[in-house]
Amino acid sequence: MKDVRVEEGFYPSDLKDLSVRELDLLCDGIRAELIESVSACGGHLASNLGVVELTVALHRVFDAPRDRIVWDVGHQSYVHKMLTGRGSRMGTLRQYGGLSGFPKRSESIYDTFDTGHSSNSISAALGMAAARDLNGDNYHVIAVIGDGAMTGGMVYEALNNAGFRKGRLLIILNDNGMSISPNRGSLSQHLSGLRSSDRYIGAKDRVKDKLGDIPLVGNSLVHGIGAIKDAVKYTLVPGVVFEELGLTYLGPVDGHNLEDLISVFEDAREMNGPVIIHCVTKKGKGYRPAERHPDRFHGIGPFDRELGVALKKSEKPDYSAVFGKKLREMARRDERIVAVSAAMIEGTGLAGFAGEFPERTFDVGIAEEHAVTFAAGMATSGKRPFVAIYSTFMQRAYDQMLIDVCMQKLPVVFCLDRAGVVGADGETHQGIFDISYMSHMPNLTILAPSDESRLRMMMEYALEMDGPVAIRYPRGEAADLSMYPELTEYAEKKERPHARILRTGSDVTLAGCGSMTKVCLEVSELLAQKGIECTVIDAEIVRPLSGRDRQVYRRAAQETGLIVTVEDNVVTGGYGSLIEDLLRSEKVSFSKMGWPDAFVPHGSREELMKAYGLDAESIAGKIEVIQKKDQ
């Protein structure tokens, strides 16, 4: 028997001659490897365990990189990475300089499209297929998409287009009944109906056999199957929404049975037109803790393999937990409050709220655009929606924020979790653009808490406001700046957030936005040791600034002559730019620190801050240089 371990030199061509038994053994090895690497580096374990056979069968049947596979979201592409020459680098997954946790064209020719934000694979694949047809090529293009990602609106735009174009395209629907949490929505119910219909198509009983001897030649097969299935579809398959859209539906197939998968993929390979293959898989397959808690093992940090529990869990609450707890408290006394989530109830800290107020919790699926306009509709009708969405995913809903909410001055509270650099998920997930994409939105108030008490206070303030408010807060442990009396004395009061001086010094003003206020305080300590005295301002409010806020900045500028703004956002169009505009007529030196106009890669937050000069030591060093120049 061949050596079936995946290692650096393993490529799809190595799969071609293996027997099904050998492929099964290979799958066992892949699972062991996945558990080992993810337990060390963290990552998306459950999703990858669920697609082991599916990925092996895909690479066995198709001819990558000539045939092109697009992974939706891409969090389930680890097995694909292992089978395409990257096996021995799995130990570097998601680490600075190591393998990305998502497909990257720059990493491998087998990665055809950089994904990370969900529900775009069919669009990208359809574009590739259209270009292929124009070029007169004949390779296959395959989108692999989960049932969770199927809740995103772009999918329907793409299906509508694909069914109409009728060009050759394969869509593999990886249906495990789960998004991060159990999948919601009517499509999910439809899929669940198909799944439980107990009519898996198997190797012996697959479509072409079932329908008789239809010649395996292009269109005639499709038309043959189409015609016969038309007559029987409502009995053969209980709901054929895809067929109605112009796609050929094959399935459901057991997504862990290699023989069946290979067989159905081989059939689909011969078909023309858009085909969707419905594979039923189990999220977390093969690792008991992940099978039991697929949500916990969707995205997990390093964990103990034996016990199946995360290694280091901080005692302190993170911002999501502070947000969720506070919203529950507020909802108990204010019936207008509702929570809206786009498939991220757990991630955004809303699980407790959902448990206590199920009828006031709206998980709309991975549908950020819809979530925002849905909230706008509720706000027109007496509700106070708190829309909790990660900063990076809210990018999808720019127009809905601007036109559907801000233009109408609707009281929607945008709770932008994971604002700033998030770390290991990398480029697609860094929440470093939100101030820039919101700072020009008329009527929008933008707030950035520097610690947990300020987040609570800002939520109270947002509820009082009769208009749109965005609160951006970072990933991870909530800061506690209660040692600063300027902050604690008003912590739970309903006070308009305002630029607040935490420390006074005559040499430099450090103006920190959100999480960077704490860093500014550290910088001020470091500089004090060098005899440089700093005024530290906690911004709290990014815009609009009141007369009092302007005064705080102007006075500090006049008193110190040097203002340094520090933010966890790209510098362009960020907080610093707004303050620079404000102080344009002042005689003051100005320096803006934040992220460059670049896609920041994966790595730990600490490593990235250091690498980009945004840790306290680097900032202090840069200020020393500026100071010397100014003297």
With binding defined as CB under 6 A, does residue 366 bind ligand TPP? yes
Query: 10 Å Cβ neighbour count for 439?
Result: 17
Q: Which residue in 303, 390, 424, 417 sits closest to 45, CA to CA?
A: 303
CA 318 to chain centroid: 18
Q: Which residues contact 192 (CB under 8 A, 6 or more apart)?
A: 177
Task: Give the x-and-dash track for 237-276 against ligand TPP (CB under 6 A).
Answer: ----------------------------------------
The residue (of 362 and 461) whose beta carbon lies closer to ligand TPP is 362
Least distance (Å) from ligand TPP to the CB of residue 189? 15
Just list the catalytic residues.
283, 368, 396
User: DSSP letter string over 498-556?
Assistant: --EEEE--SSEEEEE-TTHHHHHHHHHHHHHHTT--EEEEE--EEESPPHHHHHHHHHH
Among 60, 86, 117, 140, binds ligand TPP (CB under 6 A): 117
Contact at 8 Å (CB) between 334 and 382?
no
Which part of the chain contacts ligand TPP (CB under 6 A), choosing from 12-20, 143-151, 214-222, 223-231? 143-151
With binding defined as CB under 6 A, does residue 340 bind ligand TPP? no
With binding defined as CB under 6 A, does residue 114 bind ligand TPP? no
Q: How far apart are CA 496 and CA 540, in angstroms?
A: 9
With binding defined as CB under 6 A, does residue 146 bind ligand TPP? yes
With binding defined as CB under 6 A, does residue 47 bind ligand TPP? yes
The residue (of 37 and 181) whose beta carbon lies closer to ligand TPP is 181
Least distance (Å) from ligand TPP to the CB of residue 285? 11
How far from each other are the two terminal CA atoms of the chain, in whole angstroms? 75
Contact at 8 Å (CB) between 74 and 105?
no
Query: 10 Å Cβ neighbour count for 110?
Result: 21
Least distance (Å) from ligand TPP to the CB of residue 599? 16
With binding defined as CB under 6 A, does residue 55 bind ligand TPP? no
Query: 10 Å Cβ neighbour count for 474?
Result: 25
With binding defined as CB under 6 A, does residue 422 bind ligand TPP? no
With binding defined as CB under 6 A, does residue 418 bind ligand TPP? no
Question: 500-539: which residues touch ligand TPP (CB under 6 A)?
Answer: none
Q: How far apart are CA 620 and CA 626, in angstroms?
A: 10
With binding defined as CB under 6 A, does residue 69 bind ligand TPP? no
Which part of the chain contacts ligand TPP (CB under 6 A), choosing from 3-11, 175-183, 217-225, 348-356? 175-183
Among 4, 41, 64, 73, binds ligand TPP (CB under 6 A): 73
Tokens at 551, concatenated? 């005064």
Among 148, 385, 512, 603, binds ligand TPP (CB under 6 A): 148
Question: 283-322: which residues touch ligand TPP (CB under 6 A)?
Answer: 283, 298
The residue (of 342 and 579) whose beta carbon lies closer to ligand TPP is 342
Least distance (Å) from ligand TPP to the CB of residue 75? 5
Burial environment of residue 427 by CB neighbours within 10 A (0 to 12, 13 to 18, 19 or more): middle
Among 178, 372, 387, 401, binds ligand TPP (CB under 6 A): 178
Which part of the chain contacts ligand TPP (CB under 6 A), choosing from 171-179, 369-377, 459-467, 529-537? 171-179
Crossing angle for the helix pair 52-61 and 258-269, nearest 10 degrees? 40
Contact at 8 Å (CB) between 317 and 342?
no
Rounded to the nearest 5°, which phi and psi values hold at 472?
-110, 130
With binding defined as CB under 6 A, does residue 453 bind ligand TPP? no
Number of residues that bind ligand TPP (CB under 6 A): 25
Q: Which amino acid is at 260?
A: D
Q: How far apart are CA 623 and CA 621, in angstroms?
A: 5
Tokens at 234, concatenated? 């409502």
With binding defined as CB under 6 A, does residue 393 bind ligand TPP? yes
Which part of the chain contacts ligand TPP (CB under 6 A), choosing from 217-225, 340-348, 491-499, 585-593? 340-348
Strands 68-71, 141-146: pairing is parallel
Q: What is the CA radius of gyration of the chain?
A: 27
Which part of the chain contacts ligand TPP (CB under 6 A), choosing from 176-184, 258-266, 563-571, 614-622? 176-184
Least distance (Å) from ligand TPP to the CB of residue 349? 15
Q: Which residues bind ligand TPP (CB under 6 A)?
A: 47, 50, 73, 75-76, 117-118, 146-149, 174, 176, 178-180, 283, 298, 342-344, 366, 368, 393, 396
